[in-house]
Structure formats: C-alpha cells, structure tokens
Amino acid sequence: MDKILIFLTLFCILLVAFRIHKSGEPTYFFMFWNLFLAVIPLMLSRLCRIEWIIRNAGLTIYGIIFLWLLFLPNAPYIITDFVHLEEQDSIPVWYDLLLLAFFALEGLLLGILSVTEMEKTVVRMHSAPAGKWFALISLVLSSLGVYMGRFLRYNSWDFFISPVEIITNVGGRLLNPLANRGLYGMIMILSVLLITLYSFYKKVDLVAVKKIS
C-alpha cells in the first residue's frame, strides 16, 4: 500500500506540474497542501502504534488518538475539492476532472489505511469489538469533520484556537436536524461511502493475510 501511495503522490505531482506548464497558472497548486494534511492522520496512526508497542503509555496514546481524530477528516476532505472544477480555455475539463479524481483517490486511501491501522492499535489496547466500533465511529465523525471544513470553513487546528465556538456552532446544528438537512445528508452519504471502502479494504487485507499464512 505504501508503494501505491508513493506512486499516486508522484503521479499527482506530475499532473499538477504539467497543468501549470501548459496553462502558465498555478491552478490546483493548493492540492499539495490538502494532500499534506491528508498524510498527517496516517503518520499519527503509525506513531500511535509505535508508542504502544515500545512504551505501552496509555495517556500519551490517548493524546495521539485525539489529535488523529482532529486531523482524520483532512483525508476524505479532498473529494469535496471537485467544487473547484470549472471549464477553462487553456486546459480541457476532463484533465482537471481526472487530476482531482487522483487526488481524491489518494486521500481516501490515506484515510482508510489510517483508520485500519488505528483500529489494530485499539484492538491491542482493548478488544476486537472495541477496535471495530472505534473505526466505525471515527469514520462517521470524519464525515462530520468534512462538512465542518467545506461548509463552515473550520480547520483541524481551530479546535485549539476557538473550541467553544466550534462546539456551540456545530452542536447547535446537530440539535436542529430539520433546519440542517444538508449536514445530516452529507454525514449519511459520506459515512456510507467511507464505511463501504473501509469494509472492502478490510476484506482484501484479510484475504492477503490468509494467502501469506
């Protein structure tokens, strides 16, 4: 999987570089920042696993898990970048569509892999059912985070800057579902997508482990 992610990263860089070369404009250069943010959850999940294996330090582990939950939405968030798609004279729209699709694919893979690795750590810490429920809840919370980022324009680090504002704003919307159907609609649709991809990846991963063993 790491090799696939590296290949996708290099290919995405080439796509953007070629677009900038042909159009002379730095359009979609911001996607590199979004991709960098999408990598952070995977790094945190691996740091959490290492921390547990080496030190078995519970308090530190939960701190890393909290940070991971804050940054996890940055991975699936990339699929909402299709809102930037528009037809231009210098570049065919199909090229931009594929460019965004490859970035979105990598973001989804980064997120699913990160959740899977974090689930394994929670299983070691507690139990298999706890790990499974943790993964499912994380994916639903990630869907909420994507909505917060795209429509409310919050970043992961905003939680440390203005936590009361975020909790009040988001909590008020969640407690008023009739006036916020778009919020619940996006959470439901994106959660189904993420859980489906997560389940598919788990199945493929299980088959691969059985073949190796």
Q: Where are the domains of the chain?
A: 2-212
Residues of the chain with pLDDT > 70: what percent? 92
Q: Give pLDDT tens digits for 126-160.
A: 899 999 999 999 999 999 999 999 999 999 999 99
Question: Contact, 209 vs 162, CB < 8 A?
Answer: no
- pLDDT at residue 208 in the model: 57
Length of the chain, in residues? 213
Q: Can you say whether the dihedral through the CA atoms of 118, 124, 127, 129 is positive or negative?
A: positive
pLDDT (0 to 100) of residue 211:
62
Model pLDDT, residue 57: 62
- Please check the confidence at residue 29 and state whether its pLDDT lies above 70: yes
Query: Cα dihedral angle (114, 115, 116, 117), rounded to 10 degrees?
Result: 50
End-to-end CA distance of the chain: 19
pLDDT bracket for residue 198 (50, 70, 90): very high
Kindly give, in sequence order, each residue whose CB lies less than 8 Å from that of residue 40, ignoring residues fewer than 6 positions away: 71, 74
Q: Give the pLDDT of residue 54.
A: 66
24: region left, alpha or beta (phi > 0 left; psi from -120 to 50 alpha):
left
pLDDT digits (tens, 9 = 90+) for 86-109: 888 788 999 999 999 999 999 999
Q: What is the mean pLDDT of the chain?
A: 90
206 has a pLDDT exceeding 70: no
pLDDT, residue 41, reads 96
Classify residue 140 by burial, with Cβ atoms within 10 Å: 0-12, 13-18, 19+.
middle
Query: How large is the angle between the packed helices 128-150 and 58-71, nearest 10 degrees?
Result: 40
Cα gap 45→119, rounded to integer Å? 9
pLDDT, average across residues 59-68:
87
Q: What is the pLDDT of residue 209?
A: 53
Q: How confident is the model at residue 163 (pLDDT cuts 50, 70, 90)?
A: very high
Confidence band of 12 (pLDDT split at 50, 70, 90): very high
